[in-house]
Structure 1
């Protein structure tokens, strides 16, 4: 570290107005950086009804609601007022967490002023078009992402699997791993509450299949619903618990009329709900990191997930859960049926998941990002950083 404290300007498309795994990780990171003496200023769209109080100093970036998804905001870029604020803050490093107009503006500012720029990858944006009938655009999205990330000094992925994918996609020559941590004061087997679960009308001997996350189609809601329909056809005893909310809720409720929809849950209430399930079914392929997968493992429950970047770095196939080819309804149903009918195997794989989850603690996780900040800053001061990625 230099004699003067590091000053980080962090740019986010959603720091606290809608709660998700990405901004939870960013807020944890800012809290850790502040505890280490790093000065941090966050720039992000805001609303009058934020989902939670932000960690650190937050500057509101002008934005518009996204059509058909008004709960999300589209930042207008690095405006003149934001540039003035940024100059007054005098950052020594830029961190961008989304390749949106605000992130692009921050990246241009950093390159213009000779500042190192680190990007964190939080979701697989290139997979989104396929859920809206626009899969033909996927190569274009990959090309645009590549242009953005190659101009950064380093990029950080939440798992080694995704990091390797980014290398194969030629996104950058400097790809590191900033994984995610778990709060075991919230997520633990002891948080299971059979009385609360019974109050929901769920019999004690009926296994519960859980869904956790935003209720949007790109999370694989169609695959989840089709798989549950297959379990019903097979007459496999089970109940479904849905934790989360979003624009596709009415569609999901129509497909799962017998499910218990709990809406958004946070803190101890979320920990209780997760621990009171019997398994997680996560068919999504869009996550860069499966926060909900890790939280479920920390509660001692097995996970059935799509074999994708959000889960395959967490779930150990056949040991702590099952990894299934994306969209394979029959195979998903086979895996869930086995857990529903074999409580001994369910307990065995849940215990293995609990052991695996203990590797993820927030301080160690966030130190990896601070180490990257320190390294690229030292390289910039020494002139070792190149101005253009050598990746062809």
Structure 2
């Protein structure tokens, strides 16, 4: 089977999107399928027509150029046109059995147009809705004309593709509510590649000293600093936590749009010296920072994006045998068994977050059992071998038509 994937962006960029993509492609390769990979003009930092990254080969689509490419209203249209042109050329050469577009809709529309012209079945995989991500980034608001227009485009595409894939039950319910038949849809759950994750190790003493964490109990987060991640709640909770546990430190590894706001918040609350901003670190170094953290925190705010979409981070934490607390948004509830594989608290509630951290720290004797339960869950249920196997039935049916 030959599948041509159309992606927003890919490795060597690092994000939940690119890690999920890489895992899917590698697992499909293990099944004996031949996969090809095209990224949209939104892939940044690459000027090559083709590129190898971490063992995978990617075809690139050039970004729009000239004055028109700088116009916000025209740029998405130009990006779709360029993606379609690049896809048509590749498909004629590579002769795929299927075209597999991954969200956002800027990929689905050109893939549909190319598929119809060439007579190739088209599937569309929804990982999150573009309009909801735009709300969090502050570029639109829920219910705005732009939001409604984007939502309408997504629904238009969903109704016209040959099959729909999505990553979780929350998104599945939303798609069904748009009038899409459940028989036309398959959930490919987020998962982990167990072999890629080692159980947590001993802290690196030199790194611990370098970051000023000697003798500290460390609450931590590793990832991108987006507003929906709720890191502001962690900073808000810190003064209350320090009153009972002055040895606590908050370690934030990564960066993103909220970094300046979080630093200003820590200064305003008088806890700047207790918050360590480690910055972005190379992927190969991330485990060293994880090993410094006693308790991970995923305090996501409740909004459509977090209620509908399941993240990768809690699964990765379970794979490494780490303990964590997380807000009770829908995306977390779909992954985490409260009190068994992790601890949930009421989203958006600083008092509940503070209490959950305090309770976890007071009951560290329960941590070994929790670590084992989490590791068992990803080994037996949430692994990429099981998730990717779900592509086979719809792929085979469409290929036979």
Same fold (TM over 0.5): yes
Q: 1:241 to 1:49 in 2, by over 3 A?
A: farther
Q: Note closer, same or farther for the CA distance 1:136–1:220 as it changes in structure 2 (3 Å cut).
A: farther
Indicate conservation of the 8 Å contact 1:275/1:296, yes or no: no
SS at match of 2:297: strand
> Match for residue 376 of structure 1?
398
Q: Does 1:308 align with 2:329?
A: yes
Q: TM-score, normalised by structure 1?
A: 0.81
Q: Is the alpha carbon distance of 1:47 and 1:149 closer, same or farther for their aligned partners in structure 2, counting shifts above 3 Å?
A: same
- Partner in structure 2 of residue 385 of structure 1: none
CA distance in 2, matches of 1:82, 1:162: 27
Larger mean CA deviation between 300-309 and 232-241 belongs to 232-241
Give SS of 1:310's match: helix
Q: Is the 8 A contact 1:283 1:326 kept in 2?
A: yes
Q: Does residue 201 in structure 1 map to residue 212 in structure 2?
A: yes
Shift of 1:105: 0.5
Shift of 1:314: 1.6
Output the CA distance in 1 between the equivalents of 2:64 and 2:331: 29
Counterpart-to-counterpart distance in 2, 1:108 and 1:276? 50
Paired position in structure 1 for 2:89: 84
What TM-score, normalized by structure 2, do the two folds share? 0.79
Offset from partner CA, 1:81-108 (integer Å, 9 cap, x none) = 4422332222211111112423310122
Deviation (angstroms), 1:117: 1.8
Matches within 5 A, 1:352-363: 352-359=373-380, 360-363=382-385
For 2:269, the equivalent position in structure 1 comes to none
**Partners of 1:13 and 1:74 within 8 A in 2:** no
In 1, the alpha carbon distance for the partners of 2:288 and 2:77 equals 34
Cα 1:185–1:276 shift into 2, 3 Å:
farther
**Distance (whole Å) between structure 2 residues aligned to residue 150 and residue 223 of structure 1:** 39
Work out the CA distance in 2 between the residues paired with 1:219 and 1:178: 23
Residue-by-residue CA offset, 1:282-324 (whole Å, 9 max, x unaligned) = 1235353321111111222232222234322221012222233
Question: 1:158-173, aligned counterparts within 5 Å?
Answer: 158-173=167-182
Change (3 A) 1:367 1:55: farther
Q: Where do 5+ consecutive residues of structure 1 fail to align?
A: 1-5, 68-72, 382-392
Q: Which range moves more in the overlay, 18-27 or 241-250? A: 241-250
Q: Does 1:226 align with 2:245?
A: no
| Correspondence list, 1:103-118, <5 A | 103-118=108-123
Kindly tell me: are residues 167 and 126 of structure 1, through their superposed partners in 2, closer, same or farther at Cα, counting changes over 3 Å?
A: same
User: RMSD of the alignment, in Å?
Assistant: 3.2
SS at match of 2:143: helix
**Which structure has greater helix proportion?**
2
C-alpha change, 1:99 and 1:324, in structure 2 (3 Å) is same
C-alpha distance in 2 between matches for 1:152 and 1:224: 42
Stretch deviating more after TM superposition (326-335 or 285-294): 285-294
Instruction: Give the conservation status (yes or no) of the 8 Å contact 1:275–1:299.
Output: no
